[in-house]
């Protein structure tokens, strides 16, 4: 077990390093640089001369050779220093720390909502014996997955904020401002969960152990909730990694539509400003979350399913 | 100087406060929002009560009746520059808020362009505009308690010259800065090693707004997070990408001579939130969740008017949107080609098709709200026949593909543009069609806003679509004087002399004449083909009064109040 965990941790570090390096290379190869971005400002004012730009690049170290820049920045990153934003001068770690709570709040609410709605939908759809209800419910997830998040957000804002005034259209103060963004973000994720769970439940209900249970006189609800659901939820746990990725990607759109500050907005503004240190920081953050989620899923899976034995394939 | 003129750009009185809910038919609005992108102007023509907002911006000011002070004004802007230091910020959305943190030495009358007292009661300029002596008014203090004295101004100006890359604007204003001599607490002289006639106007901008000496001494980055000024509001909270909150400065009593009242500002707090989606901004104003919004899209105009919002508009001073010609380009270095381009662009059609009803076609290389603007519309007419004639006369002949060519060189060029305004793409597509119809081929290349400075500095373009906001004619020198950055690769000519003479002319009449000559020369020599003036349009809720534009078409909220 210990060896397994160590190995997974080692892999996690390798993935982080790869993410850092690939993003650095890609960003380095892009035309333009942060100094030009600073001098561009809001595109106000007369153009700056080429010599002046060169002098500024030298001042900020953006004219150093690729390997020197990579080496220095990686070395600092290993010491927990991801540099400073060229846009605001704020330390990247501080900028991310400032943006993170709001995104975590949004993502956690969306995750809870999508598990409740998606899971509930799958349970009801597979439990009901009314044919058309089942067909209707099972048709919902594919529709929901294909709705653009941006559009869903705008429609929700239009109705529940502008027309009925139930929730604020912007900002991140209080629980009321989380509702609409969380619902928007939960739509595609809940649909994904519903789709996977419904399929697995249907498969599980066809298994021989269900027939046995039924023969023993166990009620339908108990079979559904205790026996079938437990087995069917394993694949859902495995797609959690994918879901976390969706949450991060979705926050970019949702935070823009609902004017929330957060990691998504930080990403948008730093990408458009070519704020390389911040973009790098966000990439590292995303990779970390991804790696941790998958590690967690791998460690939790044996608890949910005794058939999965940790470390066997490695020993 | 006698200052009797007061600013006239004020919100009109809201005569009618309709219940918001009755105005929001859910289906209709939902449809408007969703269809807006594909069908601008598709909304019904309901030029109701809100329509007077436009006219209001030109109405003469009357003393505000029954002002109800207090309360918070909620203002939604589209973006955040990531910095709250007035001396480093250049983006309008951020200037709207941070302008209120600092006072300037002078102010500029948006009507006349005249420079009038603010922190400085009076000033003298020497004959060649290289030395300025200011006399400060008494009693002004920064919000940390230190006095606004000559020493504090000197600290600010000395510090400005070593600001980093974000300070391109302020360094331009202080071009040739030789130092500041403090004579006594309230008197100081700013000296330049060459004539710098634009400096006086520069002292009225937010960029040269004064920070407390302690604040000024901080690093560029520290100042981006928080600054201390002497303005009518102080910075209470700044959350990057989210909000800027300002609180009224208690005891403030040293406002600009242009403002309507004296003493403290009427509003208790100003809450600026960053709302990137234009549809959400306009919906929030219509549903009363915010009081003022910036950056109105053309498709939001009708719904906002229908919801009783006041629309305030003012053309931005400076260089209008247009095509800057790179003279290194072989095709565009032929005067016949640039002449044909200028004649083939139908500015009226562009404004009608793409812009709000408040925009106007460009009539010079300076926008009509710029001081020393001189009308050049005779040189900026639409005449496609003359355009083709210019090409034919210069020996061009139409090829089989319908594009003119001469000695194997086709009349074809690329326009580099940046998405810093939503109207840029449709405008350029229309220009592309208009030029194609006279046999000139255009391709469009979109650059990244963040790359603008580098791309232009390196000259990697044929023509460049852009504009510059600045309420002083000297902005022409920055772009067209061959001794400076010369990004457009002009040949040295007598235009340099005119621009330089203008920069050193302390006599206003002489400077006006030189500026007019420069404009005529730049327009007729087609160094830039001006197309349309950038217009700032603000949406203001029906109960908000006293919102004013300053000379740079940025908002001034000192006199603003909310009806109750």
Q: What six digits make up the tokens of B253?
A: 């009593």
Given A44, A259, A266, which is nearest B276 (Cβ)? A259
A89-107 confidence digits (pLDDT tens):
889 999 999 999 999 999 9
Mean of pLDDT values over A243-269: 89
Which A-chain residues 66-125 have CB contacts (< 8 A) with chain B? Answer: 84-85, 87-90, 95, 98-99
Contacts of B61 (CB under 8 A, 6+ apart): B6, B7, B8, B10, B260
pLDDT attached to residue B50: 36
B454 with A170: Cβ contact below 8 A: no
Q: With contact defined as beta carbons under 8 Å apart, do B283 and B26 qualify?
A: no
Residues 6+ apart with CB under 8 A from B86: B95, B98, B99, B101, B102, B206, B207, B209, B211, B227, B229
Contact between B25 and B66 under an 8 Å Cβ cutoff? The reply is no
Find the CB nearest B277 among A85, A171, A257: A257
Question: What is the three-class DSSP state of B323?
Answer: strand
A168 lies in a domain? yes
Q: Which helix (H) or strand (E) holds B263?
A: none
Contact of A148 with chain B, judged by CB distance below 8 Å, is answered with no
Contact A47 B475 (CB under 8 A): no
Q: Per-residue DSSP letters for B208-261?
A: GPPBPHHHHHS-HHHHHH---B-SSEEEEEEETTTEEEEEEPTT-----TTSSS
Please provide residue B558's backbone torsions phi and psi, each rounded to the nearest 5 degrees. Answer: -60, -40
Check: CB of residue B528 under 8 Å from CB of residue B513.
no
Residue numbers in B near A31 (CB within 8 A) = 448, 451
Measured between alpha carbons, how far is B224 from B167 in angstroms, rounded to an integer?
12
Say if residues B35 and B234 touch (Cβ distance below 8 Å): no
Q: How far is CA B245 from CA A84, B270, B543, in A?
A: 24, 6, 21
Q: Which residue of A has its CA nearest to B478?
A: A46
Per the rule left: phi > 0, alpha: psi between -120 and 50, beta: everything else, B444 is: beta
Query: Would you call A154 and B478 a contact, using CB atoms and an 8 Å cutoff?
Result: no
Chain B contact for A172, CB < 8 A?
A: yes
Q: How far apart are CA B467 and CA A64, in angstroms?
A: 33
- Which pLDDT score is estimated for A272? 80
The pTM is what? 0.83
CB contact under 8 Å between B484 and A49, yes or no, is yes
| Domain annotation covers residue A308 | no
Q: Would the CB atoms of A53 and B453 count as touching at under 8 Å? A: yes
B468 interaction partners in chain A (CB closer than 8 Å)? 44-46
Q: Min CA distance, B420 vs chain A (Å)?
A: 8
The CA-atom distances, in angstroms, between B390 and each of A46, A144, B4, B399, B464 are 31, 59, 50, 16, 23
Per-residue pLDDT of chain B (564 residues; tens, 9 = 90+): 444 334 333 333 333 333 333 333 333 333 333 333 333 333 333 333 333 333 333 344 445 568 999 999 999 998 888 899 999 988 889 999 999 999 999 999 999 989 999 999 999 999 888 999 999 999 999 999 999 999 999 999 999 988 887 887 888 889 899 999 999 999 999 999 988 888 999 999 999 999 999 999 999 999 999 999 999 999 999 998 899 999 999 999 999 999 999 999 999 999 999 998 888 999 999 999 999 999 888 888 889 999 899 999 999 999 999 999 999 999 999 999 999 999 999 999 999 999 988 999 999 999 999 999 999 999 999 999 999 999 999 999 999 999 999 998 999 999 999 887 888 999 999 999 999 999 999 999 998 777 787 788 888 899 999 888 888 898 898 889 888 778 888 999 999 999 989 888 878 899 999 999 999 999 999 999 999 999 999 999 999 999 999 999 999 999 999 998
CA-closest candidate to residue A289, choices A238, A236, A245, A235: A245
Inter-chain contact A39–B453, Cβ cutoff 8 Å?
Answer: yes
Half-sphere exposure of B5 (CA within 13 A, CB side): 15
B333 Cβ contact partners less than 8 Å away, ≥ 6 residues apart? B327
What are the CA-CA distances from residue A168 to residues A152, B178, B284, B543 (Å)?
16, 53, 9, 20
Give how far the C-alpha of residue B55 lies from the chain's centroid of Cα atoms, to the nearest Å: 21
Residue at A202 is within a domain: yes
Residue in this structure with the two tokens 């004064």, named with its chain if needed: B210
Instruction: Tell me if A77 is assigned to some domain.
Output: no
Closest CB to A39 among B165, B276, B286:
B165
Question: What b/e string do you get for A226-248 counting C-beta neighbours within 10 Å, with b at 16 or more?
Answer: ebbbebbbeebeebbbebbebbb
Tell me which chain B residues have a C-beta less than 8 angstroms from the C-beta of A273: 82, 450
A231 to chain B, closest Cα gap in Å: 44
In a domain, A24, yes or no: no
Q: Calculate the alpha carbon distances from A190 to A110, A122, A141, A260, B362 in Å.
A: 9, 10, 8, 22, 52
Residues 26-45 of A with CB under 8 A from B: 31-45
| Most B CBs within 10 Å, among A29, A31, A34, A44, to test the B interface | A44
Pairing of strands B187-192, B177-184: antiparallel
The pLDDT of residue B59: 41
**Where residue A57 falls among pLDDT bands split at 50, 70, 90?**
confident
Number of A/B CB contacts below 8 angstroms equals: 216
Per CB-CB distance under 8 Å, the chain A contacts of B273 are: 170-171, 259
- Residue B19 Cα, gap to closest chain A Cα (Å): 13
% of residues, chain A, pLDDT over 90: 39
Name which of A44, A84, A261 is nearest B221 (Cβ-Cβ). Answer: A84
Higher pLDDT, A260 or A312: A260
- CB of B445 within 8 A of CB of B414? yes
* Structural domain includes residue A182: yes
Average pLDDT over residues A8-21: 88
Structural domains of chain B, with CATH:
72-315+537-562 (3.40.190.10), 318-533 (3.10.105.10)
Nearest CA in chain B to A32: B451
Tell me the C-alpha distance between A110 and A107, whole Å: 5
Terminal-to-terminal C-alpha distance of chain B: 38
Number of alpha carbons in the 13 Å side-chain half-sphere of residue B33: 26
Under DSSP, the state recorded for B527 is S
Q: What residues of B are in contact with residue A47 (Cβ under 8 Å)?
A: 453, 456-457, 478-479, 485, 487
Burial letters A11-49, b for 16+ CB under 10 A, else e = ebeeebeebbeebbeebeeeebbbbbbbbbbbbbbbbbb
Q: Residue A275: closest CA among chain B residues belongs to which residue?
A: B450
Search chain A and give the residue with CA nearest B83: A88
Query: Could you identify the residue written with the tokens 């209900």?
Result: A205
Q: ipTM of this model?
A: 0.84
Q: How far apart are CA B430 and CA B349, in angstroms?
A: 9
The alpha-carbon radius of gyration of chain B (Å, integer) is 24
CB–CB contact B81 A41 (8 Å) = yes
Q: What is the CATH number of the domain that holds A247?
A: 1.10.3720.10
* Closest chain B residue to A154, measured at CA: B280
Closest CA to B532 of B393, B364, B387, B379: B364
pLDDT at B157: 97
- For residue B219 the two structure tokens come to 């690093």
CA distance B387 to chain A (A): 30
Q: If you measure CA to CA, which chain B residue comes closest to A57?
A: B165
The predicted pLDDT at position B49 comes to 36
Cβ contacts (< 8 Å) between A46 and chain B: which residues?
172, 468, 475, 478-479, 484-485
Cβ–Cβ below 8 Å for B479 and A88: no
| CA A8 – CA A14 distance, rounded (Å) | 10
Q: How far apart are CA B304 and CA B51, in angstroms?
A: 9
Q: Residue B530: which region, alpha, beta or left (left: phi > 0; alpha: psi -120 to 50)?
A: beta
* Contact flag A170-B280 (C-beta cutoff 8 Å): yes
Q: Which domain holds residue A240?
A: 100-273
Task: Tell me the average pLDDT across A218-225.
Answer: 87
Nearest to B165 among A46, A56, A172 (CB): A56
Coil, strand or helix at A257? helix
Query: What gap in Å lies between CA A94 and CA A82, rounded to an integer?
Result: 10
In the prediction, which pLDDT does B288 show?
Answer: 92
Residue A83 included in any domain: no
Calculate how close chain B gets to A287, using CA atoms only, in Å: 23
Domain assignment present for residue A22? The answer is no
Distance CA A125, CA A133 (A): 7
Q: How many domains does chain A have?
A: 1
Q: Minimal Cα distance from B90: which residue of A?
A: A42
Minimal CA separation from B15 to chain A, in Å:
23
Give the model's pLDDT for residue A244. Answer: 84
Measuring CA to CA, which residue among B309, B280, B272 is closest to residue B72?
Answer: B272
Pairwise CB contact (< 8 Å): B485 & A36: no
Ranges A26-35, A170-179, B31-40, B214-223, most confident: B214-223
Which candidate in B98, B419, B450 is best for mutational testing of the A interface (most A CBs within 10 A)? B450
Q: Is the dihedral of CA B31, B33, B35, B39 positive or negative?
A: positive
Distance CA B554, CA B559 (A): 14
Quick check: A272 and B470 CB within 8 A?
A: no
Q: Which residues of B touch A148 (CB under 8 A)?
A: none
Which of A52, A155, A269 minimises the CB distance to B82?
A269
Report how far residue B240's alpha carbon sits from residue B510's, in angstroms, rounded to the nearest whole number.
46
Closest CA to B406 of B492, B464, B333: B333
- Judge whether B7 and B109 are in contact, CB under 8 Å: yes
Mind spelling out the 3-state secondary structure of B80-127?
A: CCCCCCCCCCCCHHHHHHHHHHCCCCEEECCCCCCEEECCEEEEEECC
CA distance B322 to B522: 13
Q: Do B90 and A89 touch (CB under 8 A)?
A: no
Q: What is the DSSP string of A79-125?
A: TT---B-TTT--BHHHHHHHHHHHHHHHHHHHHHHHHHHHHHHHHHH
Residue B70: which region, alpha, beta or left (left: phi > 0; alpha: psi -120 to 50)?
left
Cα separation, B477 vs B384, whole angstroms: 31
Confidence category of residue A48, pLDDT binned at 50, 70, 90: confident
């Amino acid at each position: 077990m210990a060896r397994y965990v160590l190995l997974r941790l080692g892999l996690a570090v390798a993935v982080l390093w790869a993410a850092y390096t690939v993003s650095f290379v890609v960003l380095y190869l892009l035309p333009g640089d942060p100094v030009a971005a600073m001098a561009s400002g809001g595109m106000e004012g007369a153009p700056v001369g080429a010599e002046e730009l060169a002098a500024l690049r030298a001042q900020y170290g953006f004219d150093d050779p690729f390997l020197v820049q990579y080496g220095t920045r990686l070395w600092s990153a290993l010491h927990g220093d991801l540099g400073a934003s060229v846009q605001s001068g704020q330390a990247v770690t501080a900028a991310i720390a400032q943006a993170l709570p709001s995104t975590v709040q949004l993502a956690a609410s969306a995750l809870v909502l999508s598990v409740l709605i998606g899971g509930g939908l799958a349970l009801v759809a597979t439990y009901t014996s009314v044919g058309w209800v089942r067909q209707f419910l099972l048709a919902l997830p594919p529709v929901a997955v294909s709705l653009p998040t941006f559009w869903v957000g705008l429609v929700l804002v239009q109705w529940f904020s502008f027309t009925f005034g139930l929730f604020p259209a912007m900002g991140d103060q209080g629980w009321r401002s989380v509702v609409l963004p969380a619902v928007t973000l939960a739509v595609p994720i809940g649909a994904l969960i519903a789709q996977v769970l419904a399929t697995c439940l249907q498969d599980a209900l066809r298994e021989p152990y269900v027939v046995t249970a039924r023969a023993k006189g166990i009620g339908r609800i108990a079979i559904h909730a205790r026996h079938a659901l437990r087995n069917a939820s394993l694949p859902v746990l495995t797609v959690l990694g994918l879901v976390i990725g969706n949450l991060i990607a979705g926050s970019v759109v949702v935070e823009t539509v609902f004017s929330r500050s957060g990691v998504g907005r930080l990403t948008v503004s730093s990408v458009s400003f070519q704020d390389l240190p911040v973009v790098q920081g966000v990439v590292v953050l995303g990779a970390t979350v991804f790696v941790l989620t998958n590690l967690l899923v791998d460690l939790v899976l044996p608890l949910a399913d005794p058939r999965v034995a940790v470390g066997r394939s490695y020993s | 100087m006698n200052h009797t003129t007061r600013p006239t750009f004020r919100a009109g009185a809201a005569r009618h406060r309709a219940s918001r809910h009755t105005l929001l038919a859910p289906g209709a609005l939902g449809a408007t929002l969703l269809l807006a992108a594909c069908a601008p102007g598709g909304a019904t023509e309901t030029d109701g009560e809100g329509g007077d907002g436009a006219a209001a911006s030109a109405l003469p000011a009357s003393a505000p009746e029954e002002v109800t002070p207090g309360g918070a004004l909620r203002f939604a802007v589209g973006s955040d520059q990531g910095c709250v230091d007035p001396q480093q910020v250049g983006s309008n959305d951020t200037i709207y808020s941070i302008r209120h943190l600092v006072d300037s030495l002078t102010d500029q009358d948006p009507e006349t362009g005249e420079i009038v007292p603010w922190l400085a009661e009076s000033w003298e300029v020497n004959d060649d505009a290289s030395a300025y002596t200011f006399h400060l008014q008494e009693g002004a203090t920064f919000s940390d308690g230190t006095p606004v004295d000559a020493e504090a101004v000197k600290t600010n100006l000395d510090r400005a010259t070593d600001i980093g890359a974000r300070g391109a604007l302020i360094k331009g204003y202080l071009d040739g800065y030789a130092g500041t001599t403090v004579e006594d607490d309230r008197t100081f002289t700013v000296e330049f090693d060459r004539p710098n006639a634009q400096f006086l106007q520069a002292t009225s901008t937010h960029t040269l707004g004064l920070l407390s000496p302690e604040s000024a001494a901080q690093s560029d980055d520290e100042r981006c997070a928080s600054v201390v000024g002497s303005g009518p509001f102080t910075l209470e909270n700044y959350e990057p990408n989210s909000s800027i909150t300002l609180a009224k400065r208690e005891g403030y009593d040293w406002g600009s001579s242009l403002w309507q009242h004296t003493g403290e500002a009427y509003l208790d707090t100003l809450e600026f939130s960053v709302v990137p989606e234009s549809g959400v901004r306009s919906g929030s104003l219509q549903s009363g969740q915010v009081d003022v919004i910036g950056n109105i899209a053309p498709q939001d105009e009708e719904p906002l008017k229908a919801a009783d919002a006041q629309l305030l508009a003012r053309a931005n001073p400076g260089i209008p949107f247009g095509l800057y010609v790179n003279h290194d380009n072989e095709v565009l270095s032929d005067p016949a080609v640039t002449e044909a381009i200028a004649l083939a662009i139908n500015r009226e059609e562009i404004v009608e098709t793409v812009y709000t009803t408040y925009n106007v076609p460009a009539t010079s290389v300076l926008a009509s709200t710029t001081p020393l603007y001189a009308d050049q519309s005779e040189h900026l007419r639409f005449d496609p026949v003359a355009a083709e004639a210019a090409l034919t006369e210069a020996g061009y002949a139409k090829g089989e593909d319908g594009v003119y060519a001469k000695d194997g060189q086709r009349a074809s060029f690329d326009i580099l543009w940046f998405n810093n305004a939503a109207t840029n793409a449709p405008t350029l597509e229309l220009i592309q069609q208009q030029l194609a119809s006279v046999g000139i081929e255009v391709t469009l290349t979109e650059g990244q806003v963040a790359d603008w400075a580098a791309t232009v500095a390196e000259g990697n373009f044929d023509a460049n679509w852009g504009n510059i906001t600045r309420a002083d004619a000297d902005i022409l020198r920055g772009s067209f004087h061959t001794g400076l950055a010369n990004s457009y690769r002009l040949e040295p000519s007598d235009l340099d002399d005119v621009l330089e003479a203008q920069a050193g002319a302390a006599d206003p009449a002489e400077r006006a004449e030189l500026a007019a000559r420069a404009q005529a020369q730049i327009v007729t020599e087609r160094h830039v083909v001006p197309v349309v003036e950038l217009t700032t349009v603000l949406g203001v809720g029906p109960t908000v009064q006293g919102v004013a534009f300053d000379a740079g078409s940025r908002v001034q909220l000192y006199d603003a109040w909310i009806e109750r």
